[in-house]
């Protein structure tokens, strides 16, 4: 009888674990909040053989590349940043941090990578930093 009870406890624990795993890493949110993923992209403004990316060029890039892919909203913070390039030279530049909270879709990763690629193609930086945050409860 004791072994049957242990098996039942194990099965109950296993079914609870499977149920949690099936939900993914989405937190349980209290209404009206919902679980959203966060992406942060950091865009440097300096260019090798041209002036820094202007506010007008940035606005056009957002309108052409970002807003169509994530139309529900975004935030851009502008600041000063620095990093070492592939030759070890310290680069100091204006940087723009793009923050987006979104409902993950099957093509979300592809859409994010298309934004990064478009910026590199258009403005020529070595990289666009990507930082994926954990899903979190968000309400508006």
What's the whole-number mean pLDDT along residues 122-128? 94
Kindly calculate the radius of gyration of the chain based on its CA atoms and give it in whole angstroms.
22
pLDDT on residue 12: 40
What's the whole-number mean pLDDT along residues 129-138? 94
CATH assignment at residue 95: 3.30.70.120
Q: Which positions ≥6 away from 55 have C-beta within 8 Å?
A: none
Pair 99, 38: CB distance under 8 Å: yes
Q: How many domains is the chain partitioned into structurally? A: 1
Tallying the residues shown for the chain, one arrives at: 140
pLDDT digits (tens, 9 = 90+) for 34-65: 999 999 999 999 998 899 999 999 999 999 99
- Asked, for residue 115, whether it belongs to a domain, the answer is yes
Tokens (6 digits) for 94: 């204006």
The whole domain housing 74 covers 28-138
- What percent of the chain has a predicted confidence (pLDDT) above 70? 82
- Asked, for residue 84, whether it belongs to a domain, the answer is yes
pLDDT higher than threshold 60 for residue 117: yes
- Asked, for residue 6, whether it belongs to a domain, the answer is no
Determine which helix (DSSP H) or strand (DSSP E) holds 136, and give its type and residue range. strand 129-138
- Asked, for residue 56, whether it belongs to a domain, the answer is yes
- Asked, for residue 34, whether it belongs to a domain, the answer is yes
pLDDT on residue 23: 41
Query: What's the half-sphere exposure (Cβ side, CA atoms, 13 Å) at 3?
Result: 0
d(CA 46, CA 35): 35
Pair 91, 44: CB distance under 8 Å: yes
- Asked, for residue 119, whether it belongs to a domain, the answer is yes
pLDDT digits (tens, 9 = 90+) for 62-95: 999 999 999 999 999 999 999 898 899 998 999 9
- Asked, for residue 61, whether it belongs to a domain, the answer is yes
- Asked, for residue 99, whether it belongs to a domain, the answer is yes
């Amino acid at each position: 009888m004791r072994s049957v009870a242990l098996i039942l406890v194990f099965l109950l624990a296993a079914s609870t674990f499977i149920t949690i795993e099936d939900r993914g890493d989405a937190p349980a949110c209290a209404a009206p909040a919902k679980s959203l993923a966060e992406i942060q992209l950091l865009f440097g403004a300096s260019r090798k053989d041209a002036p820094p990316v202007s506010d007008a060029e940035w606005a056009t890039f957002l309108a052409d590349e970002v807003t169509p892919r994530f139309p529900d909203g975004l935030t851009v913070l502008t600041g000063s940043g620095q990093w070492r390039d592939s030759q070890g030279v310290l680069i100091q530049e204006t940087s723009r941090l793009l923050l987006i909270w979104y409902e993950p879709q099957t093509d979300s990763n592809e859409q994010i990578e298309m934004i990064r690629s478009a910026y590199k193609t258009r403005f020529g930086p070595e990289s666009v930093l990507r930082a994926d945050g954990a899903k979190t409860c968000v309400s508006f």
